């Protein structure tokens, strides 16, 4: 059981780092989405959800991991990295960013499934309720991105065409 517990705590920290990375990625994309208010507002909603997810994971880790004082260092590094990645999108990088976002949501879904199984074996029922809510939010965002990909692409392509100098 000690081995399972060790994995569990490691996966909890990984999940927290994953949410911090999600925030960096979405904030970078959001700064480029001014032409697509529908996508922009859905992503702002998911940023708010993700901030809450990261906070709830942080509290879970603090309550379960005696080595949780390491958290502060990890958080500092994540936000420093985030600043460097802020302006990385150019041209079709928005489209690549969207594909990466969808993939990221699916990875989050799998990560919460893994952690829910582990928490079930350890009978950590309080934590399971939180993971289930996070899982539902990831699934909701993944579904939304896929359902709106055509609309998103049409807006991107129309904008791209309008923004180009006329060709001979």
Which residues of the shown chain bind Fe ion in the complex (CB under 5 A)? 105, 108, 138
With respect to Mg ion, which residue has the nearer C-beta, 19 or 124?
Answer: 19
With respect to Mg ion, which residue has the nearer C-beta, 36 or 108?
Answer: 108
- In angstroms, give the least distance from the CB of 16 to Fe ion: 13
- In angstroms, give the least distance from the CB of 108 to Fe ion: 5
Task: Tally the residues of the chain.
Answer: 168
- In angstroms, give the least distance from the CB of 128 to Fe ion: 18
16-46 per-residue burial string, b: 16 or more CB within 10 A, e: under 16 = bbbbbbbbbbbbbbeebbeebeebeebbeeb
CA distance 57 to 59: 5
With respect to Mg ion, which residue has the nearer C-beta, 35 or 133?
Answer: 133
* Binding site residues, Mg ion, CB under 5 A: 19, 22, 50, 53, 108
């Amino acid at each position: 059981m000690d081995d399972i517990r060790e994995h569990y705590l490691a996966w909890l920290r990984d999940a927290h780092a994953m949410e911090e990375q999600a925030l960096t990625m979405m904030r970078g994309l959001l700064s480029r989405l001014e032409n697509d208010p529908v996508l922009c507002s859905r992503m702002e909603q998911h940023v708010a959800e993700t901030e809450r997810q990261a906070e709830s994971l942080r509290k879970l880790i603090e309550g379960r991991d005696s080595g949780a004082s390491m958290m502060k260092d990890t958080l500092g590094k994540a936000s420093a990295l985030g600043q460097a990645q802020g302006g990385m999108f150019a041209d079709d990088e928005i489209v690549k960013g969207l594909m990466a976002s969808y993939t990221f949501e699916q990875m989050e879904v799998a990560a919460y499934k893994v952690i829910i199984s582990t928490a079930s074996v350890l009978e950590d029922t309080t934590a399971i309720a939180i993971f289930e809510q996070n899982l539902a939010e990831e699934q909701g965002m993944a579904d939304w991105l896929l359902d709106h990909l055509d609309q998103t692409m049409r807006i991107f392509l129309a904008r791209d065409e309008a923004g180009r100098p006329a060709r001979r």
